[in-house]
Amino acid sequence: MSRDVASEEVQHKTDIKLRSATLDDVNALILLENKCFQTDRLSRRSFRYFIRRTGTLLLLAETNNAILGYVLTIFRHGTSIARVYSIAVDPSVRQSGIGRLLLEAAEDNAREKDCIGLRLEVHPDNSSAINLYKALGYRQFGRYLDYYDDHSEALRLQKNLVASQPSENAPPYYAQTSEFSCGPAAMMMAMRALDPEALFDRTLEFRLWRESTTVFMQAGHGGCEPIGMAVALARRGFRVEVSVNRLAPYFVESVRDRSRRDAIQLIQQDYANEAEALGVVTRLEAFTFEGITNALKLGAKVLVLISQYQMVNSRTPHWVMVYGFSGNRLLIHDPWIEPDDLETFVSAAALPVPWPAFDRMARWGRARLRAAIFVTKELS
């Protein structure tokens, strides 16, 4: 229900301090709430609850012991997305940059908790708040109908907190050119990283897709499954190992038609037979941070299945390439670029994702499938 402040030329004041709220601040917070909002106000009971609750942070901006604003952030267990539940600035000091200061502090705290995104809601008529959010990099990804007390809708916005960090040793990046070809795009990036002569073109992208897809979606084209991708790579002379936490068939949970399920199982069994003939090793175990980083040290590139839900609010299975690490962060190339946000590869390449966040992302479907493909160049 995040409410918002209008703000926005930043004029950081040196006498403004940020601190966590205590129960002694509740009376002042109620006064501020009544100044800022006509409806959808937080109650005294709500403020006391959020101050005491674990998994929330109520941050205050104050000067001379006067509270000028607050931001309330909620951290949900088991997800890497934090949420700004409410943000408010005293009307007498709006346009002074306090809203921006609070929001940037909320982002910093979310990063410290290994979150990769921050979400909020905003009234569609609050143009000044929307302008601030967009200036800070927030993008709309949905809306809630009949959300506020006046029955108006709320726009849902999100910011990616993981900034791209390209470097000279980052392998070449390739963006998928269709909604369903993330697997081939990730494969192509691994191939090029290991073989500078490997192609980057759409013909290869769709050839790899044809060779490794079995997934029937509810509508549209299917995606790629791990053994099929491993076979396609092994055919091209790469040494491949697969780590999965359960046996096939994969991606059949949403397939109700019996004939389609039978087709998926038949194709996947054929992949398994060919994988064995090609010397592809399949390990029935969930990959770990140590397993990935040890493989990276030996020169491997790792393709990992993730759920896109925490990144772009989609439950579609998705493949990314892990090419390096720094501390507890995996460096990934994500082949998906949002077409509606005028993104470039800079927003999806060389992303340093903290392992706790990546670990939560790398589980797909009700069965919590974990799959990784370790790719190295075959020795001649």
CATH code: domain of residue 344: 3.90.70.10
Q: How many other CB atoms are there within 10 angstroms of residue 86's CB atom? A: 25
Percent of residues, the chain, with pLDDT higher than 90: 59
Count CA atoms within 13 Å of residue 107 on its CB side.
17
pLDDT of residue 7: 38
Residues 295 and 336 in one domain: yes
Residues 221 and 331 in one domain: yes
213 touches 223 (CB < 8 A): yes
Residue 175 lies in a domain: no
By CB atoms closer than 10 A (0-12, 13-18, 19+), residue 194 is buried
pLDDT of residue 222: 66
Residues 41 and 106 in one domain: yes
Q: Which of 160, 190, 214 is the last residue of a domain?
A: 160
Residue 9 lies in a domain: no
Average pLDDT rounded to a whole number, residues 240-244: 97
Question: Which tokens go with 32?
Answer: 């501020």
Residues 145 and 193 in one domain: no
Residues 220 and 323 in one domain: yes
Between 7 and 83, whose confidence is greater? 83
Q: Is the pLDDT of residue 335 over 90?
A: yes
pLDDT band, very low/low/confident/very high, at 142 (cuts 50, 70, 90)? confident
* Lowest-confidence pick of 39-43, 221-225, 317-321, 359-363: 221-225
pLDDT band, very low/low/confident/very high, at 143 (cuts 50, 70, 90)? confident
pLDDT of residue 11: 42
pLDDT of residue 12: 45
Residues 148 and 199 in one domain: no
Residue 171 lies in a domain: no
Percent of residues, the chain, with pLDDT higher than 70: 88
Residue 77 lies in a domain: yes
Residues 238 and 143 in one domain: no
Residues 144 and 28 in one domain: yes
The range of the structural domain enclosing residue 151 comes to: 17-160
Residue 11 lies in a domain: no
Q: In what order do the strands lie in the sheet with 329-333?
A: 281-284, 238-244, 371-377, 301-307, 317-326, 329-333, 351-354
pLDDT of residue 101: 96
Q: Which of 126, 160, 194 is the last residue of a domain?
A: 160
320 touches 189 (CB < 8 A): no
**End-to-end CA gap in the chain:** 60
Residue 41 lies in a domain: yes
Residue 350 lies in a domain: yes
CA–CA gap between residue 169 and residue 376 (Å, rounded): 17
CATH code, 35: 3.40.630.30
Q: Is the pLDDT of residue 119 over 80?
A: yes
Residues 252 and 213 in one domain: yes
Q: Is the pLDDT of residue 13 over 80?
A: no
Q: Tens of pLDDT along 79-116?
A: 778 999 999 999 999 888 999 999 999 999 999 998 88
pLDDT band, very low/low/confident/very high, at 311 (cuts 50, 70, 90)? low
pLDDT of residue 213: 87
- As for how many domains the chain has, the answer is 2
Q: Is the pLDDT of residue 221 over 70?
A: no
Q: Is the pLDDT of residue 354 over 60?
A: yes
Residues 138 and 243 in one domain: no
Residues 337 and 265 in one domain: yes
Residue 170 lies in a domain: no
CA–CA gap between residue 311 and residue 329 (Å, rounded): 16
Q: Which of 130, 160, 190 is the last residue of a domain?
A: 160
Q: Is the pLDDT of residue 150 over 90?
A: no
CA–CA gap between residue 281 and residue 376 (Å, rounded): 13
Q: Is the pLDDT of residue 14 over 50?
A: yes
pLDDT of residue 78: 64
Residues 217 and 279 in one domain: yes
